[in-house]
Amino acid sequence: MNTQTSSDVVTAAMPDGEIILLHGGTRQYFSLNETASFVWRLLEAATPAERIREALIESYDITGEAAGDALNELMRELEAWRLICCAETRAS
């Protein structure tokens, strides 16, 4: 099952590449840094976790292990704030 962005979340893109998220249920605001914004855009496009990991490797010149760790950590944060759902799938 792919990870999905929560339907309760409203987004706004800022000129510095960051994305602002508003969770309608909790009414909390968040700003995503450049990397998290990069991942968020892919999540919005329903990109599988493995493909996101590959995109991180390509775009940020990091190892597969580092990309997987960073992605898993980010997914846990997003999940904890209820910004994504159905996050059973983890990057390897």
Partner 1 sequence: MSAVNRDLKINHPYSVSYVLCGAGIRLIGDASDPLAAAAWTIEALFPVRFAHVLPLPTFQIGIHSQPEPDVDGETVMAVPGFLAVRTGTGYHLRSGTSWLAVNIREGFASGSLSSCFLTAPLEDRRGLFLMAFLLLFAGSGRYALHASAVAIGGHGVLLAGASGSGKTTVACALIRAGWDYLSDDAILLDQCSGVTRVSALSGPFHLTPNALRHFPELLVGAFTPPSGGKQLIDMSTAWPGRFIREVEPTAILFPEITRAESSRLIPLRPTEVCLGLLATGAGLLADRESMAGQTAIIAELSRSTPGYRLLHGADAHRFPETLADLIGLTLGEKPAGRTHEYANQF
Q: Is 31 in the site for partner 1 (CB under 8 A)?
A: yes
Reading the block at residue 3, the tokens are 């990870």
| Dist CA 7 CA 23 (whole Å) | 9
**Where does this chain touch partner 1 (CB under 8 A) — which range of 23-31, 47-55, 70-78, 83-91?**
23-31
Binding mask 2-21 for partner 1 (x = CB under 8 A): -----xx-xxxxxxx-x-x-
* CA angle in degrees (0–180, nearest 5) for 50-55-57: 95
Binding footprint of partner 1 on the chain (CB under 8 A):
7-8, 10-16, 18, 20, 22, 24, 27, 29, 31
